[in-house]
Structure 1
Amino acid sequence: MTHGSLTSARPSTVLYRRTGGALVFLLLALVVIGLLAAGVWYMVAQASVPEEIQIIRFKLVKADFEHVVTEQGEVESSAKIEIRCEVDSPNQGGTEIIWVIEEGQYVKGPHQVATLGNETAASLANKYNLIDNKYNLSEEDLRIANPALEENIKQGKEITIPGHLLVTLNKKALQDARDNQNKAVVSAQSSVTASENKWTQATISLEEYLKGTFLQEQQLVESEILVAREQNGRAKDTAKFSSRLAALGFLTAEQLKADLFAVKQAEVDLALALSRMDTLENISKKKMEVGFQSDIKAAQADVVAKTAILEQEQSKMDEIDLNLTKCDIRAPSEGQVIYHNVYSSRSGRVEFVVEAGSRARERQTIIDLP
C-alpha cells in the first residue's frame, strides 16, 4: 500500500511545479511591460513641456572683426595680380632690385588722358609727376606707352599715362651687354656694306665689259679686218698687174713671185682677223660674261649671308632693349602693394625678401596687387 501511494502522488507534484513556473514568468512579463509603459509616458510628458528660451542681449557696435587663425600658413587674396620680373638677365643670379615702392601703398594702373595740342612729352611727364610722385614718369616712359606720342599730342588725341612705378631693377649688366652687342651690330653692318660694294662692283664690271671693253676690242678687230681686206685687194691687183708685165717681159720672175707671196700673206692676215672676231664674239665674250656673273652671284650670296648675321645681331640688340624697358615695372591696374616674400615650407626660413639689394629671377613674383 505504501508503495502504491507514493507512485500515485508523483504526477500531481510535477503538475504543481509546472503551473508555478508559468505564473512566475507571467508576472515578470507584466512587470517589464509596465516599466516600458511608464518610460514611454514619462518621455511623452517631458516632450510636451515647452522649453524656456533664454534671450542674450548685446549692444551692436561698429568695430574691426577679429578672427583668430590657429593653422600655420599665409592669408592672401583669392583675386590678385602677380607682378613678376620679366627681365632675362645676362647674370645667372637674376637682376638686382634697386628700388621698390613701400608695402601697403595704393597704386593706379594706366589710363587715358586728353591732350591740349600745345604740350610736349617733357611737360606731360612733369605735369603728372607733380600730380602724383608715384608715377616717376620720363619722356621715354611716355614714348614706350605711346609709339605715336608727338603725333597724338599735335592732333589733340588721348594718350596713355603708364601706371605707378612699383619696382626699379638694376640696368648696368644689360647696358654693358648692349654696349658689347652694339659693337657686334656695327661690325655686321660694315660686313654687309662691304659685301654690297662687292656686289655693285661686280655688276659694274660686267656692264663695263659689255658696253666698254668688249666693244673696244670688237672695233679694233673690225679695223684689222678692214685693213686686211684692203691689203688683200691691193695685193691681188698688184699680182694681177705684175703677171701682165711679166708676160710682156717687163718684170722678172722673182718680182712676180714676191707679188704673189704678198697676196697669200694678205689672205692669211685677213683670215686671222676674221678668226679673232669670231673668237671674241663667240668665246671670249661668253667666258667673260660667265666670270662676271659668277662674281655677281657670289657677291649677292655673301650679302644675303652677311645680312642674316646682321639681323641676328640686331635681334639680340632689340631683345636687350626690350629687357631694359622691363627694368621699370609699373602697375598694370589699381590695387594695394603686397610684397611677395617667399618662405621655406620646411624650415620656415626666408628664401626671398622683397627689398633693395635682393635679386629677382626671371618670372619670379615680386609684388601682389589684390
Structure 2
Amino acid sequence: MEIFMETPTAANGGNPGKKKRSWKKLLLWLFLLILLFSLVFHFTSSLLFRKTEAGHLKFITPTVAQFRHEIAVRGDISSSENQDIKCRVRSTGGVMITWVVDEGTEVKEGDTIAVLDNSTLIDSLDAQQIKVAQSEAEVKAAENNLLTAKIAKEEYENGSYKVNLQKLVSAQIKAKEERDRLAEYLQHSKILYEKGFVTQSQLEADIFSLKQAELTLRAAELDIYVLKEYTHNKQTNNYESDIKTADANLSSKKSVHLQNETKLKDIQQQIEYCTVKSPSDGKVLYVNETNRFGSSEFLVCQGAMVRERQTFLRLPNSNKLQVTADIHEGKISYVKVGQSVQVHTDATGDKIIQGTVIKVDENPQPTNHWMGNVKEYRVTIRLENPEGVLPGMTAETKILVEESQDEKLMIPTHSVFEHGGKYYCIEKKPDGTLTPITVELGHSNDKMVIVTSGGLTEKTQLVAAAFENRELISLPELAAGETSSPTIRPKNEEISGDFNGENSNSSSPQAGMKPDGEMGSDGPKFGAGEMGQNTGMPGEIPAGMNGMRPGGPRPGGLRPGGMRPGGPRPEMDKMEQNGEMSAGMGENGFPPGMDGMTPDGPKPGMGMRPGRPRP
C-alpha cells in the first residue's frame, strides 16, 4: 500500500500554525511518557534495592539468660598510698628541671631522682657569704667596744678616781696642818704683843696668815666633796652609758649576723633541695597536669618549670592499688559502696581482676569545658589482687548493680530503636519480608535489654542494626515534636531533661531537651512544617517558624510559636478599633520597621518615639 503525503502549500491551502500546535502536543505527550517511565523505574529500583538490602542484612535472635545489670566505665589506676615528691625550692616564677629520672624507673631510698636548676641560688650563696663575713667582723668590733667601755669604767673606779681623791685628801691634810700651825703661832704672837715684843703690824700679819690657811683648808675640803658627790657620779654615769651603748650595738650586730647566717643556711638548704632524693624504694611516676579543657598544662620533662610545693613526682605503693572512674549522673544512683567490680586492663590480657566499690563522691567533678553541664561523680574501686597492674594504667571496669535470679528474654540494644515514643524491632518473616514489631523494654545494660512484652521468642529473626535499616519498613508518621532515635531509655534510666541539659541522664544527642520549644528533645524539627493554614513544603520549613500567619504555634522551634504565635491577635484588633494604630502599622500588619521597604517607603509608626519615621 502506498501512502501519499501532500505537502501543504499556500496554493493548496496548508496551515503553518496548525502544524506548530501538533508538534507541541507531541512534545507534551513525550514528556509525560518520560515522567511516567521515571516514576516506574524509581519505584521498581526502590523495591529491588530494598530486596537486595534485605538479602544482605544481619539477623539475630533473642536470648534467654540471667540478666546482669552492669555499668561499664573507664578509669585510671592509682595507688591508695602514695609518696608525693614536691618541689621545695622557693622561687618567684618556678625553677627549671635540669634532669629527671625516666618514668617507671625502680629506685632505692636516697637515690637522686631529679635535679633542679641552682644557678641563681649559687649566686645568692656567694653574696650571702660575703654578708656573713662582714657582719661577723662587725660583731667582733662591737665586742671590743663593749670590752673597752667596761675597762674604762674599771680604770676610773680603781685608778684615776682614787688617785685624784688621794691628792685632794693630802692637800686637805696639809692645809689643816698649816692652819693649826698658824693658829698656834698667832697665840704666841698675841702673848709677845702683850709683852711688847711684837708690833701691831706683825700681829695683824699673823692673823691674816691664819685666815688664809683656813680658806685653803675649806677649799681642800670642798674639792673632796665635789669629787665624791659630782665628778665621780658623772664619770660613772658616762662610763655606764658607754657600756650600755656598746652592749646594744653588739646585740644589733649579733642579730644582723644571726640573720645573715640563717639566710646563708637557708640558701645552702635550698641548694640541697635542688637535688631531689627518693624518700623510699619504689617506681617513679610523673605527675603531669591538665587544664579544664583537657589539654596538657604541665609535663614533667627536662626544661620544665616547677613551682614551689608542686607535686611533680610520685612513688606509689604497688601493692595497694585502686581505680578512680567518673560516672554519669544518670547512673550514679545505682552505684553503692560494697558492690563488686570486674576490672580488665590491656596489660593483664584476659585476666579479670576483682574489685570493690569503696567510695562514691557526693559532689560532682568540676565541669569540663567540652561537656557543657553534664555532671559526673567519682567512684573509687579497690583492687583485690593487683598483680601485674601498675599505677597509671587505664582500666575497663564493670560495676555489678544487680543480677537476676531467673532467666529473662533479652535482645541486643542495637536491635531496637525508639520511634514516636515507642520501641520497635524489625522482624524477618518466614517469607523474607520485614515488618516492625512494637516491644516494651525493662532493665538494660550497655549491651542487652530485657523485653517484657511484644511477642518475641527465641526463634524470632530480628534485624541486628534496626535503626540504620528502619527505612526498609513502614512506620507511623511522626507528629510534631516526635523523633526517631537509636538510643533507648528503659526503666532503669528513665529521665527528663530541661533546656540546659542539667538534669539529662541519657547519652543520646537528644537528651536533656524538651519537645515543646526551647530546643526540644528532638532538636529543631525540619519537615511537616506549615505556613499558616496551608501545608508547607515538607522537609524545608522548620516547625515552629510558622507563627506569622494563622495556624498556631508549632513546637520544636526556637521558642513556642516561632517568631510570633499564629491565630487572632485580639490586642492588635482592640488597638485598631480604638484608633491607637492609626499611623504606624505597615501594610502587612507589622510594627513599623519590621515590614521591610514598601513602595511608599518607610512608614512612621509605633516606635519609641510615636510618629517619627523609623526606617
What amino acid maps onto 1:83 in structure 2?
I
1:101 aligned residue: 101
Taking structure 1 as the reference length, what is the TM-score of the superposition? 0.62
1:257 deviates by 1.0
CA RMSD across the alignment: 2.3
Question: Shift of the alpha carbon at 1:310?
Answer: 2.2
1:362 corresponds in structure 2 to: 308
Matched residue, 1:324? 271
Q: Distance in 2 between matches of 1:219 and 1:272?
A: 15
2:232 equivalent to 1:230: no
In the TM superposition, what whole-angstrom CA distance separates every residue of 1:173-193 from its partner, at most 9, and x where no partner exists?
111112222223223223322
Partner of 1:37: none
Partner-residue secondary structure (3-state), 1:186: helix
Give how far 1:282 is off: 2.2
> How far has the Cα of 1:311 moved from its partner?
2.1
The answer on 1:277 being equivalent to 2:279 is: no
Instruction: Report the counterpart of residue 79 of structure 1 in structure 2.
Output: 81
1 CA distance for matches of 2:206 and 2:282? 116
Matched, 1:353 2:299: yes
**Once the two structures are superposed, what CA deviation does each residue of 1:259-314 show, in whole Å capped at 9, x if it has no partner?**
11010000110111011111212222122212222222222222223322222222
Read off the aligned partner of 2:160 and give its amino acid letter.
T
Partner of 1:137: none
Q: Separation in 2 of the partners of 1:286 and 1:202?
A: 16
**Which ranges in structure 1 are unaligned for 5 or more consecutive residues?**
1-50, 54-68, 110-162
Taking a change above 3 Å as real, the CA distance of residues 339 and 269 of structure 1, as seen in their structure-2 partners, is same
* Local SS of the residue matching 2:79: coil
Report deviation, 1:342: 2.1
Code of the aligned partner of 1:179: D
Q: Which residue of 2 aligns with 1:153?
A: none
Distance 1:239 1:281 in 2: 34
1:196 aligns with 2:143: yes
Alignment partner, residue 194 of structure 2: 247
- 2: CA distance, partners of 1:264 / 1:52: 149
The correspondence of residues 259-274 of structure 1 with structure 2, limited to 5 A, is 259-274=206-221
**Inter-partner Cα distance in structure 1 for 2:119 and 2:248:** 38
The residue type equivalent to 1:359 in the other structure is M
CA-to-partner distance for each residue in 1:59-81, whole Å, 9 max, x for gaps? xxxxxxxxxx985x855434322
Aligned partner of residue 96 in structure 2, secondary structure = strand
Alignment of 1:302-321 (within 5 A): 302-321=249-268
CA distance in 1, matches of 2:173, 2:106: 99
What is the distance in 1 between the residues matched to 2:271 and 2:248?
35
| Paired residue type of 2:86 | R
User: Which residue identity does 1:329 align to in structure 2?
Assistant: V
Give SS of 1:166's match: strand
Question: TM-score with structure 2 length normalisation?
Answer: 0.38
1:211 to 145, 155, 158: 158
Mark the runs of 5 or more structure 2 residues left unpaired by the alignment.
1-62, 66-71, 317-615
Query: 2:192 and 2:303 mapped to 1: Cα distance?
Result: 119
- Aligned partner of 2:242 among 276, 295, 298: 295
Quick one: distance in 1 between partners of 2:126 and 2:233? Answer: 50
Cross-structure match for 1:41 = none
Instruction: Supply the AA of the counterpart residue of 2:112.
Output: L
Match of 1:169 in 2: 116
Q: Secondary structure at the match of 1:81?
A: strand
More relative contact order, 1 or 2 (CA 8 Å, 6+ apart)? 1
- The answer on 1:334 being equivalent to 2:281 is yes
Match of 1:220 in 2: 167
SS in 1 for 2:97: strand
Q: Flag the 1:351–1:248 CA change in 2: closer, same or farther, 3 A.
A: same
Give the corresponding residue for 1:133.
none
Moved more, 334-343 or 181-190: 181-190
Output one character per residue of 1:155-198: Cα deviation in whole Å (capped at 9) or x when no partner. Answer: xxxxxxxx111011121111111222222322322332222222
